């Protein structure tokens, strides 16, 4: 059988490079925007991404209960600055939006430096960088500045102006859905709440939009949903509003931090060896000899919401650096210079490879799942026995053990380390012997043109 994978062109350097170059242009365009978990910066960013791919926008009202959380008031900023004792603006949000503590409440006040200091944040270990700090869930105000700026502030009276609004409004997120032959859906999530930070996560937003755009030109077997939403509260809001769709997800990936020079890093789902885990581990290792695979932990990005015990989905994460892993993380030094075109090319190739594999991986179910079925009586196992099973016999055992309706031949091959052609051949043998059956789209579509499907029992 020769099926050509979706996004095949993007799996190779020649196809991925122009997309990476376009991603860099997009990053440059969205980088200056002041984003947060709510507000006009998010809408403005989605406007720009919508030029690449049609996005359906959702506005969820402040105060909406989403599981154990509540959608916060909407935050917008007109201006924010500090005027020093000499009457000059020493810090100005217009020069760099990281200067303002994200989600600062409005303030107009005069105070001496000593009273101002607890509201000022700097990075003594990197005296020329502005830190990125947020205060989403506690009413607070503050400014972030370089340590050099902080040390140069003279004693005296300061004027503080933060002209922001925290008011009933909404949380904005967007989706791009690509309908495949089957309703079985795979989800790609990226966070859109970080302001002027290039790798975290203008890189993820740009790549996800361009990947979705590339996919609209494909005819995928599975359906895909790209979700652009703020971190944590955004994914929790999405899950609360799409609970049934979430539970039915085939799998998903949280993507971000795709442009720095660290190796590709795949973080396993909570269940560790699901279909996406097997396929993504293999894909990142094929594309980057230095690739890392890390175990699940309940910290990081939005994978942890999809992997919370109430959902426990087959949901992994693809990044290069992890959160907090590079010096420039959450500071003004996470800028365009940190992004590497070759790294973006490689990230795009990996994502195309993963999605291409997911799309081709027809899931299988063992029809004799209680104990190992007897292969010998069907002529599928040597009667005399040897020291070890032959590779083909080994492939049969792997398939029968893993075919619980959530795995397919491609990811079972990846998990077993056996050659894929051999595992596919063993799968065909077991299908012919009616020991395995296909389950994708069971009960949803009348399966199937090529006759290789069999209706699952549900």
**228 - beta bridge partners?**
174, 190
Nearer to Zn ion, 32 or 154 (CB): 32
Nearer to Zn ion, 265 or 402 (CB): 265
Question: Would you count residue 328 as binding Zn ion (CB under 5 A)?
Answer: no
**Number of residues forming the site for Zn ion (CB under 5 A):** 1
Instruction: State in angstroms the smallest separation of the CB of 144 from Zn ion.
Output: 14
Instruction: State in angstroms the smallest separation of the CB of 324 from Zn ion.
Output: 8
Nearer to Zn ion, 299 or 384 (CB): 299
Stretch that binds Zn ion, among 164-172, 193-201, 302-310, 389-397 (CB under 5 A): 193-201
Instruction: State in angstroms the smallest separation of the CB of 193 from Zn ion.
Output: 8
Report which secondary-structure segment, H or E, holds 90: strand 89-92
Stretch that binds Zn ion, among 98-106, 200-208, 244-252, 345-353 (CB under 5 A): 200-208
Nearer to Zn ion, 319 or 402 (CB): 319
Distance of CA 183 to the CA centre of its chain: 21
- Residue 72, both tokens: 């916060």
Binding mask 206-245 for Zn ion (x = CB under 5 A): ----------------------------------------
Instruction: State in angstroms the smallest separation of the CB of 65 from Zn ion.
Output: 25
**Distances 48 to 24, 32, 60, 190 between C-alpha atoms, Å:** 14, 12, 20, 15
* CA neighbor of 143 nearest in space, from 88, 76, 81, 79: 81
Residues 24-83 that bind Zn ion (CB under 5 A): none
d(CA 147, CA 124): 5
Instruction: State in angstroms the smallest separation of the CB of 323 from Zn ion.
Output: 6
What region does 137 belong to: left with phi over 0, alpha with psi -120 to 50, or beta?
Answer: alpha
d(CA 207, CA 239): 23
Helix or strand or coil: residue 389?
Answer: coil
Nearer to Zn ion, 98 or 447 (CB): 98
**What strands, in cross-sheet order, belong to the sheet with 404-408?**
404-408, 363-366, 436-438
Nearer to Zn ion, 175 or 200 (CB): 200
Nearer to Zn ion, 102 or 429 (CB): 102
Nearer to Zn ion, 200 or 302 (CB): 200
Stretch that binds Zn ion, among 61-69, 194-202, 311-319, 368-376 (CB under 5 A): 194-202
Stretch that binds Zn ion, among 33-41, 160-168, 195-203, 444-452 (CB under 5 A): 195-203
Q: Is 46 within 8 Å of 192 (Cβ atoms)?
A: yes
Name the residue with the smallest CB distance to Zn ion. Answer: 200
b/e sequence 277-291, b meaning 16+ C-beta within 10 Å = bbbbbbbbbebbeeb
Q: DSSP states of 433-455 as a string? A: TTSEEE-TTTTTS---TTS----
Helix or strand or coil: residue 370?
Answer: coil
d(CA 46, CA 55): 8
Nearer to Zn ion, 11 or 322 (CB): 322
DSSP class of residue 331 equals: B
**Residue selected from 52, 74, 200, 334 as contacting Zn ion according to rule CB under 5 A:** 200
Nearer to Zn ion, 75 or 186 (CB): 75
Instruction: State in angstroms the smallest separation of the CB of 301 from Zn ion.
Output: 8
Instruction: State in angstroms the smallest separation of the CB of 201 from Zn ion.
Output: 7
Which stretches does DSSP call E strand in 246-375? 251-255, 265-267, 292-294, 315-319, 363-366
* Residue 364: other Cβ atoms inside 10 A: 26
Nearer to Zn ion, 234 or 405 (CB): 234
Instruction: State in angstroms the smallest separation of the CB of 132 from Zn ion.
Output: 8
Instruction: State in angstroms the smallest separation of the CB of 334 from Zn ion.
Output: 9
Instruction: State in angstroms the smallest separation of the CB of 78 from Zn ion.
Output: 25
d(CA 352, CA 283): 9
Q: DSSP states of 198-247 as a string? A: IIIIIIHHHHHHHHHHHHHTS--SSEEEEEEE-TTHHHHHHHHHTHHHHH
Instruction: State in angstroms the smallest separation of the CB of 300 from Zn ion.
Output: 10
Nearer to Zn ion, 132 or 186 (CB): 132
- Residue 242, both tokens: 């799409």
Binding mask 275-314 for Zn ion (x = CB under 5 A): ----------------------------------------
Binding mask 93-132 for Zn ion (x = CB under 5 A): ----------------------------------------
Query: Can you give the binding site for Zn ion, defined by CB under 5 A?
Result: 200
């Amino acid at each position: 059988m020769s099926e050509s994978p979706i996004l095949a062109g993007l799996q190779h350097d020649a196809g991925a490079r122009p997309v990476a170059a376009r991603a860099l242009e997009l990053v440059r365009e969205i980088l200056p925007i002041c984003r947060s978990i709510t507000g006009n910066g998010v809408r403005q960013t989605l406007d720009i991404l919508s030029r690449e791919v049609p996005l359906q926008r959702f506005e969820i009202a402040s105060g909406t209960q989403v599981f154990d959380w509540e959608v916060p008031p909407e935050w917008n900023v007109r201006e924010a600055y500090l005027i020093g004792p000499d009457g000059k603006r020493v810090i100005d949000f217009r020069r760099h939006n990281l200067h303002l503590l994200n989600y600062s409440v409005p303030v107009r006040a005069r105070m001496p430096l000593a009273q101002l200091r607890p509201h000022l944040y700097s990075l003594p270990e990197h005296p020329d960088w502005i830190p990125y700090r947020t205060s989403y869930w506690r009413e607070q105000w503050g400014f972030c500045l370089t340590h050099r700026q902080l040390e140069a502030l003279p004693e005296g009276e300061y004027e503080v102006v933060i002209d922001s609004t925290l008011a009933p409004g909404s949380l904005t997120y967007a989706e791009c859905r690509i309908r495949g032959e089957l309703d079985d859906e795979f989800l790609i999530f990226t966070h859109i709440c970080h302001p002027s930070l290039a790798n975290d996560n203008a890189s993820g937003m740009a790549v996800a939009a361009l990947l979705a755009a590339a996919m609209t030109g494909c005819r995928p077997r599975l359906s895909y949903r790209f979700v652009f939403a703020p971190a944590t509260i955004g994914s929790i809001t999405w899950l609360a509003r799409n609970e049934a769709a979430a539970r039915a997800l085939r799998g998903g990936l949280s993507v971000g931090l795709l442009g720095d020079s660290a190796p590709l890093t795949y973080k396993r789902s909570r269940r560790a060896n699901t279909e996406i885990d097997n396929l993504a581990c293999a894909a990142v290792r094929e594309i980057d000899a230095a690739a890392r695979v890390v175990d699940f932990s309940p910290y990081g990005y939005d994978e942890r919401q999809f992997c919370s015990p109430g959902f426990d989905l087959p949901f992994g994460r693809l990044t290069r650096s992890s959160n907090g892993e590079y010096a420039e993380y959450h500071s003004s030094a996470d800028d365009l210079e940190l992004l590497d075109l070759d790294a973006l090319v490689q990230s795009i190739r990996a994502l195309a490879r993963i999605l291409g594999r997911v799309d081709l991986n027809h899931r299988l179910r063992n029809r004799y799942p209680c104990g190992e079925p007897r292969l010998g009586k069907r002529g599928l196992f040597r009667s005399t026995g040897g020291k070890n099973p032959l590779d083909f016999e080994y492939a049969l055992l792997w398939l029968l053990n893993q075919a619980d309706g959530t795995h397919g031949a491609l990811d079972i091959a990846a998990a077993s380390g056996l050659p894929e052609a051999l595992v596919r051949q063993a799968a065909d043998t077991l299908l012919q012997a009616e020991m395995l059956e296909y389950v994708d789209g069971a009960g949803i579509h009348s399966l199937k043109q090529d006759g290789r499907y069999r209706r699952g029992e549900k």
